Chains A and B, each alone.
Chain A
Amino acid sequence: GAGVSQSPRYKVAKRGQDVALRCDPISGHVSLFWYQQALGQGPEFLTYFQNEAQLDKSGLPSDRFFAERPEGSVSTLKIQRTQQEDSAVYLCASSLARGEEQYFGPGTRLTVT
């Protein structure tokens, strides 16, 4: 079946612009995670959803970052007033249930100029 998909795959934003990154998890997967991966580094946890509930947002680096999953399926990560340090690959992962294997999408590469 289809895996996790993310769009857009690449996004270039001018500093100060707002961006929205979309994640389509595997159908039926309850848990959804967002990670930030800087160049040459491992993914870093941002936030976690169980269905539509955001249970953990301890990894969000600032209040410019906001994530939602209103119907418990598609999720959007929004970054307001982007800064250069926001440049990274943003990965989404989903799992059937909490504690199960996480399946990653291909990521969105965000470049802030």
Chain B
Amino acid sequence: GENVEQHPSTLSVQEGDSAVIKCTYSDSASNYFPWYKQELGKGPQLIIDIRSNVGEKKDQRIAVTLNKTAKHFSLHITETQPEDSAVYFCAASRNNNDMRFGAGTRLTVKP
């Protein structure tokens, strides 16, 4: 089955700096790669996703890149703000079913 690895487990940046979180996956049949933000006491919330027919996607300060050959994808957050502080999860799945999550990255943005 699918195995997703996520790095780093913790990340601390200064407000205004960029943050990058990286994930690798094992199942070459996976074709859907969402990123979730989870705040304390809440469920994960989808922030951006990418499908395997696209190499990059951007939404304001957030971007995701996908390298299918190497089986890795990354989340980039630019101009970070304190409210970006949360735990971020990557996931991989076939058609958004049977989703497998990474272990999470705790991002802290220091004002």
Contact = CB atoms under 8 A, between A and B. Distances in A.
Interface of chain A: mostly helix, strand, loop or mixed? loop
Interface residues of B, number: 23
Interface stretch (A12-20, A69-77, A78-86, A96-104): A96-104
A104 B45 contact: yes
Given A41-B104, A106-B42, 15 more contacts: A33-B99, A40-B103, A42-B101, A42-B103, A43-B101, A44-B101, A93-B43, A98-B96, A101-B34, A101-B46, A102-B46, A104-B44, A105-B43, A106-B41, A106-B43
B99 A45 contact: yes
B41 A42 contact: no
Given A99-B97, A101-B96, A91 B44 contact: yes
A4 interface: yes
Interface of B: 4, 6, 34, 36, 41-46, 49, 89, 91, 95-104
A91 B43 contact: yes
Interface of chain B: mostly helix, strand, loop or mixed? strand
A42 B104 contact: yes
Contacts of A56: 98
B43 A42 contact: no
A87 interface: no
Residue of B45, B89, B97, B103 contacting most chain A CB atoms (<10 Å): B97
Contacts of A4: 43
B1 to A, nearest CB: 9
A40 B99 contact: no
Contacts of B43: 4, 91, 93, 104-107
